[in-house]
Amino acid sequence: MNKWVLRIPIIGLLSLVFLSSVSAHGVEISYTATEAIVVEINAAFDTGEPMAEAQVAVYAPNDVAEPWMTGTADEDGLFTFIPDPDIPGTWEVVVRQSGHGDTVYVTIDADETGNTVVDASGTSNPYTPAQMIMMGASVVWGCVGTALYFISRRG
């Protein structure tokens, strides 16, 4: 039993070391809009590596079931499209690559003069550092709890 008392904390500490590689699977998507209503999507992993050749689907506010446009990001993770100014509302842009991806929402509205306006900056909502720490601690706690359960059943 004494050998397990030392092994469990060591296993817990080793699992914390590998959490940084787990967080590398996150995705950050941002967009910018120009005066000509061109929306540029920039997709990258949390590490900063661009999501080259990522699949992109754009959904119009009036039909969220069928993509309004589909395409592929370039080598730098960039994808550009011009939304239909006659369809105001919140456009949904989904970016996926190798099982990783995220969604960003682009708002297209008309101002008082009737001109089309795009919410000029936006990002997807990645996990906050506090959420990442809590998830990592939960994984470690679950592993330690499972190990302790099986140890107690042997003894």
Residue 110 and residue 151 in one domain = no
Residue 70 and residue 4 in one domain = no
Residue 132 and residue 121 in one domain = no
Residue 21 has pLDDT above 50, yes or no: no
| pLDDT band at residue 112 using 50, 70 and 90 as cut-offs | very low
Whole domain around residue 100: which residue ranges?
A: 27-126
Distance between the two ends of the chain, CA-based, in angstroms? 8
Identify whether the C-beta of residue 115 lies closer than 8 Å to the C-beta of residue 23. Answer: no
Report which residue type is found at 99. Answer: G
| Highest mean predicted confidence (pLDDT) among 10-24, 71-85, 106-120, 121-135 | 71-85
pLDDT at 124: 53
Residue 94 and residue 154 in one domain = no
Q: How many domains does the chain have?
A: 2
Mean pLDDT confidence for 99-120 = 69
